[in-house]
Amino acid sequence: MKTSTRITLVIAAAALAACSSTAPSNPTAMGFFLTNSGSGKGADLGGLAGADQICQARASAAGAGDRTWRAYLSAAASGGQPAVNARDRIGNGPWYNARATLIANNVDELHGANGITKASALTEKGEVVNGRGDTPNMHDILTGSTPDGRLATGDKDMTCNNWTSSGEGSAIVGHSDRIGLRDDEPSRSWNASHPTRGCGQQALVSTGGNGYFYCFAAK
How far apart CA 191 and CA 47 sit, in angstroms, is 18
Q: Judge contact between 32 and 214, C-beta under 8 A.
A: yes
Q: Judge contact between 188 and 114, C-beta under 8 A.
A: no
Helix/strand/coil (H/E/C) assignment for every residue in the chain: CCHHHHHHHHHHHHHHHHHHHHCCCCCCCECEEECCCCCCCCCCCCHHHHHHHHHHHHHHHCCCCCCCEEECCCECCECCECCECHHHCCCCCCEECCCCCEEECCHHHHCCCCCCCCCCCEECCCCECCCCCCCCCCCEEECCECCCCCECCCCCCCEHHHHCCCCCCCEEEEECCCCCCCCCHHHHCCCCCEECCCCCHHHHHHCCEEEEEEEEECC
pLDDT of residue 173: 98
Query: Considering the entire predicted model, what is its pTM?
Result: 0.88
pLDDT category at 24 given cuts 50, 70, 90 is low
Q: Judge contact between 74 and 84, C-beta under 8 A.
A: yes
Which percentage of the chain shows pLDDT scores above 70?
89
pLDDT of residue 27: 85
**pLDDT, averaged across the chain:** 91
Looking at domain 28-217, its CATH architecture is Roll (3.10)
pLDDT of residue 42: 97
Residue 67 is which amino acid?
Answer: R
pLDDT of residue 17: 41
Least confidently predicted of 8-12, 105-109, 123-127? 8-12
pLDDT category at 164 given cuts 50, 70, 90 is very high
Mean pLDDT computed over 5-30: 53
- The predicted-structure confidence for 60-102, as pLDDT tens digits, reads as follows 999 999 999 999 999 999 999 999 999 999 999 999 999 999 9
How far apart CA 168 and CA 157 sit, in angstroms, is 11
pLDDT of residue 94: 98
- The predicted-structure confidence for 91-114, as pLDDT tens digits, reads as follows 999 999 999 999 999 999 999 999
Mean pLDDT computed over 17-34: 71
